[in-house]
Structure 1
Amino acid sequence: MTPSVTRPLPALPTSWHRTLAFPESRAFGHSSGMLGSSACWEPRTRPKEAPPDRPAQSCALLPDLHFRYYAPRSAVHFKARLEAVQADSLREKKEKLALRQQLQEARQQLQQQAEYCTEMGAAACTLLWGVSSREEVVTAILGGDKALKFFSITGQTMESFVKSLDGDVREPDSDENQFVFALAGIVTNVAAIACGREFLVNSSRVLLDTMLQLLGDLKPGQCTKLKVLLLMALYNVSINLKGLRYISESPGFIPLLWWLLSGA
């Protein structure tokens, strides 16, 4: 009776190899960009060791597979996006062009309104300058509720005019010059009346300060007519005792007076 021989059980799988199953209905390179199959895992046993007289069997692996990836957005989609962006850019260019045209028209209208206001102001103030030499007219002007506002605007207008010169030589008969000269002449005529001097000293000291400042800001030989009118107005104010004290106590008045008398 032959003895029974026990043999060891086959070794358990020690490695796993990934294989891909591809149905026959799907092929590589499909337009969807997917393989159309799922990956599965199956065990693979270690190859048996070959006897010494035979070479070991090689472990066959799956060949390398190169997959081509397709983006989910097609060229048609990007072309549509490009056309939409180009349309938006064209619309924005048209809007900018329209806004520039509107801005240019607004500037022209503003320039026309400024010229109209200057012409109207020059004409009205020139007429008022002519009639302000009469005492009853000055009394009527000071009796109105717009007197303070008028002299405040007068000081601001003369100050803006002097600042806008900046060395430029303007025509003596221009509307801007006539407007400012007429305002200074009105102040001079108002200061020539006793009630006018009292009003300027008590209620319009800001205007007096502005006139003193403008005399120092004007360069030698610049707007001589305006400078003469300002000096005449300050002289008329100085006839009033309070006016003389206020002007003489103003900072820098004595050096300014000396500079003016020296030929400025």
Structure 2
Amino acid sequence: MHAADAIHGDLGMIQRDDVVICISKSGSTPEIKVLVPLLKRTGAKLIALVGNLNSWLADQADCILDATVAQEACPHDLAPTTSTTAALALGDALAICLLEARSFGREDFARLHPGGTLGKRLYLTVDDLSRLNELPQVSLQADLHTVILEMTSKRLGATAVVDDDGALAGIITDGDLRRMLRAGRDLAQVRATDIMTPRPKTIETGTYAVTALEMMQLHQITQLIVLEGTRPVGFVHMHDLLREGLV
């Protein structure tokens, strides 16, 4: 709230239980001298963030924050430059102190700031992404033709390999297929269990998507299998994270 606007009607937004932080370098401008008595009449507490501890505003305040600077960055020591930076830094420090005093956590931030990349990092889960993909999976004894068709139709460049109970046994990626061809194996005899990578990187359902991103970057991979217990329930791909702007 600008001091000049306050004395022309905006003062009505100030209530008895409010705390007003009044920012002024000199602490003695005419608008401040008109405004402060009106503020005090509402019963609101007044904090003075000032560059002059001996100013009129400092004398009137319930609490004083010292924003004194030795000199402005302005070559003429006139335009508020260093002093505005000091006021900004003190304001940020106050905000962080209040955040800690109220135990304001990641969940609170996500609830109040759901938009943009910051919000997505705090609420988007792998479930939100994996449900947009089909789940490629084959049995341990699936032949090469079945494996390639499953990988091609589900368009993720990989397939999970599951045992007879539906538990995850491994993963087959495009890289596994290329390594198999380079090895010169008899393609007619190849089964999923022969070329899969056992114990692949996985992530539990309900985990934040940003955690999936960190895992992919750490292990230099492009997809993770989402597990519910021991059973695969989906895939999350780096492209999903790119689409959501998390990368």
Greater share of helix: 1
Greater share of strand: 2
Select the structure of larger CA radius of gyration.
1
TM over 0.5: no
Q: Which of the five TM-score ranges fits, normalised by the shorter chain?
A: under 0.3
| TM-score, length-scaled by structure 1 | 0.21
